[in-house]
Structure 1
Amino acid sequence: MAFLELNDVVKSYGDNTVLRAITLHVEKHQVICLIGASGCGKSTLLRCVNGLETIQGGDIRLEADVVSGEGVDLDALRRRVGIVFQSFNLFPHMTVLQNITLAPVRVLGIDRADAEAQALTLLARVGLDAKAAAYPDQLSGGQQQRVAIVRALAMNPEVLLLDEITSALDPELVAEVLAIVRDLAADGLTILMATHEMSFAREVADRVVFLHEGLILEEGPPEAIFGEPREERTQAFLRKIVAAGRL
């Protein structure tokens, strides 16, 4: 049994089926990159794993525990599975340090001094310890996204979900955020990442998953997906990416 499993997962909004019997197995310490055109279901898939969306079919399991459906303890799930969004979602009225320590103190019951010490250690890791007392509107977009990643890491998640975390950033800020993800991957954190950064996926991913209209059409190691894709839809998608100079 895999560390994280999606088994025949179906997600619908009324008559609109967004995920169609998705089956995806992720081993511990793997980095899985989800690719595909906008609207293919990448973000919805991540939101289902974190319990932000309820599913209409199948199940999601974390270390064999069912974490989808009726009666799931969502607080317990989100202690194990962190998520970072493309919009930073920092609380504007709180400092960087307050943003990061809020959940560890309130949800995990960590002593405030210990939570702050951990937060400062994590901020130093991403080069932002000097910004602990700053407010979000005093930071660049890249800095805010790094803070959002630190906020997720402060909960010590077993799995980190990254939802297009560079899409709202100016091109010059993308590299600084991806450098953090590269370090986390090197540390062995299990990461499930929706991304349009194909070169990054090619470099970092253990496996690349191509979604099209709510289906997994193809998955495999980066060299196979980017080098010799089997499916015509994958080939067409990658041709557009190459034409746009993004691979």
Structure 2
Amino acid sequence: MSFIELVGLHKSYGRHTVLQGIDLQVQRHQVVTLIGASGSGKSTLLRCLNALEPIDAGEIRLDGDVVSGPGVDVNRLRRRVGMVFQSFNLFPHMTVLDNIALGPIRLLGAEPRTARDRARSLLERVNLAHRADYYPDQLSGGQQQRVAIVRTLAMDPDAVLLDEITSALDPELVAEVLNIVRELAADGMTMMLATHEMHFAREVSDLVVFLEQGQLLEQGPPEQVFGDPVEPRTREFLRQIVEAGRL
């Protein structure tokens, strides 16, 4: 059984169709990367998975259980499937430590001391223990994004969704964030990510999915999708990426 399964997923905003009948299976410990032009539906797909956007048709299943539609426990879903955004979304009035500990305390019922100890341990993992008592505006963009990733990990999710997490960063800060994702992949975390970092997608992915105008046009291992794509539109997209020096 697939850990995450999308069956006939449709999503529209008014007359604008964003996702058109997406079928996708994600196995435990797999890294699945969504690629495609801006506006192809990558971010919307991730937001639907985290119930930030309601779907119009189809089903989302987690471990065989339907987690889309009326009556779904959204909070339980988000505890199991965490999400990291491109805009960090840290609380500016709270320290780094409190940003990370808040979720486990409020949503998981963790003891404050236990939650903060866990937060410090995770900060050490990403080399930010010395910034525990700083506020977000005292950190670089790369540091803020690492804190955002740690905040998600503090909830002990079964899977993590990463939505263009380096797009708001200066180029020199991208590597420090991607290194954390590499470590998570090596540890076996189930992940789905949308990214324009094609070198990284080729390196870290088990499965690459190419979206075009809301349709899943092609999927396969990175060596096949990047090295010998089947669909003409995939080939054209990657040709443009190569010409732009991004692959």
Following TM superposition, the consecutive aligned residue runs of length 4 or more in structure 1 with deviations greater than 2 angstroms are: none
Q: Does 1:44 pair with 2:55?
A: no
* Aligned match of 1:17: 17
Displacement of 1:181: 0.1
Equivalent-residue separation in structure 2 for 1:28 and 1:178 (angstroms) = 21
* Aligned match of 2:7: 7
* Aligned match of 1:186: 186
Matching residue's letter, 1:19: L
Secondary structure of the equivalent of 2:172?
A: helix
Matching residue's letter, 2:209: V
Displacement of 1:204: 0.6
Q: Unaligned stretches of 5+ in structure 2?
A: none
Instruction: Calculate the aligned-residue CA RMSD, in Å.
Output: 0.5
Q: Does 1:167 pair with 2:152?
A: no
Displacement of 1:15: 1.1
Displacement of 1:14: 1.2
* Aligned match of 2:242: 242
Equivalent-residue separation in structure 2 for 1:164 and 1:241 (angstroms) = 17
* Aligned match of 2:229: 229
Q: Unaligned stretches of 5+ in structure 1?
A: none
Equivalent-residue separation in structure 1 for 2:151 and 2:139 (angstroms) = 15
**Normalising to structure 2: TM-score of the pair?**
0.99
Equivalent-residue separation in structure 2 for 1:97 and 1:244 (angstroms) = 40
Deviations 1:187-242 (A, max 9, x none): 00000000001001101100000000000000000000000011111011101111
Secondary structure of the equivalent of 1:241?
A: helix
Deviations 1:31-60 (A, max 9, x none): 000000000000000000000000010000
Matching residue's letter, 1:239: R
Displacement of 1:16: 1.0
Secondary structure of the equivalent of 2:110?
A: coil
Matching residue's letter, 1:60: I
**Normalising to structure 1: TM-score of the pair?**
0.99
Equivalent-residue separation in structure 2 for 1:182 and 1:152 (angstroms) = 16
Displacement of 1:108: 0.3
Displacement of 1:67: 0.5
Q: What is the identity percentage for the equivalent residue pairs of Structure 1 and Structure 2?
A: 68
Secondary structure of the equivalent of 2:174?
A: helix
5 Å matches for 1:115-126? 115-126=115-126
Matching residue's letter, 1:33: T
* Aligned match of 1:110: 110
Matching residue's letter, 1:56: D
Matching residue's letter, 2:20: R
* Aligned match of 1:151: 151
Deviations 1:58-107 (A, max 9, x none): 00000011100000000100000000001011000000001001110000
Deviations 1:123-164 (A, max 9, x none): 000000000000000000000000000000000000100000
Secondary structure of the equivalent of 1:156?
A: coil
* Aligned match of 1:136: 136
Matching residue's letter, 2:204: V
* Aligned match of 1:28: 28
* Aligned match of 1:176: 176
Equivalent-residue separation in structure 1 for 2:91 and 2:240 (angstroms) = 37
